[in-house]
Amino acid sequence: MHYTSEDIKQLDKVTRLKIINSVTGIKPANLLGTINNEGLTNLAVFSSIIHLGSNPALLGFIVRPTGEVPRHTYENIKENGSYTINHIHPKFAENAHYTSAKFDGNISEFERCGFTEEFIADFKAPFVKESTFKMGMHFKDAINIPLNGTIMVIGEIEHLIYPDDAMIADDIDLEASNSVGISGLNSYYSLKKIGKYPYARVNETPEF
């Protein structure tokens, strides 16, 4: 199969969404938890979270154009500056997927999709109790992307919580943490570690 840019533009919307959302490979599967200033919580599945730097510990994610439908996650983050990122695990992947439905703003996906809100001291946004690997984030910046109207939201990790046995030697092991990945819009994958290699140095590169 070979598509040119013109071919891609001519695809019907659903086919184009499925293909282009898959071409980057397996992406991290996370639930973003937020709360508005009236106390109503929101939960939404995201597969666009990326590492931006370790010092400070910054992560970004992409919000689709805000003019099409209400973006409750983004609106809540702008209100109070806090949100959580929670890994999805196999036992609740189906529940997590349905948080992507366009529920009315007065409905909490926590309750509707069978999740438990979990709060910690001095942090406003709710974590997903069922997730064992989660981060509390502080909003730092939002960068508009004029090419397609999306927004990159940047936050700094304030709280990092993960199982003791997910740290193997000096690495986080995502297979041990039982985290899952997403391809396209609705396909979920388990993660299997295939190897661990030393830090790459020119003088230690094997002869392949």
51 domain-assigned: yes
Q: 10 lies in a domain?
A: no
Selection from 93, 3, 83, 89 nearest residue 43 by Cα: 83
pLDDT digits (tens, 9 = 90+) for 130-148: 999 999 999 999 999 999 9
The 10s digit of each residue's pLDDT in 187-200 is 999 988 898 888 89
Q: Is residue 204 part of a domain?
A: no
pLDDT attached to residue 69: 60
- For residue 43, the Cα-to-chain-centroid distance in whole angstroms is 11
Counting the structural domains of the chain, the total is: 1
Q: Residue 205 domain-assigned?
A: no
Exposure on the CB side of residue 108, measured as CA atoms within 13 A: 17
Structural domain span for residue 36: 24-192
The CATH code of the domain that includes 41 is: 2.30.110.10
Provide the β-strand partners of residue 171: 168
> Does residue 1 lie within any of the structural domains?
no
pLDDT at 66 over 80: no
Task: For CA atoms 146, 104, 100, 53, give the dihedral sign.
Answer: positive
Confidence of residue 50 (pLDDT cuts 50, 70, 90): very high
Is there a domain that residue 180 lies in? yes
Q: Has residue 169 been placed in a domain?
A: yes
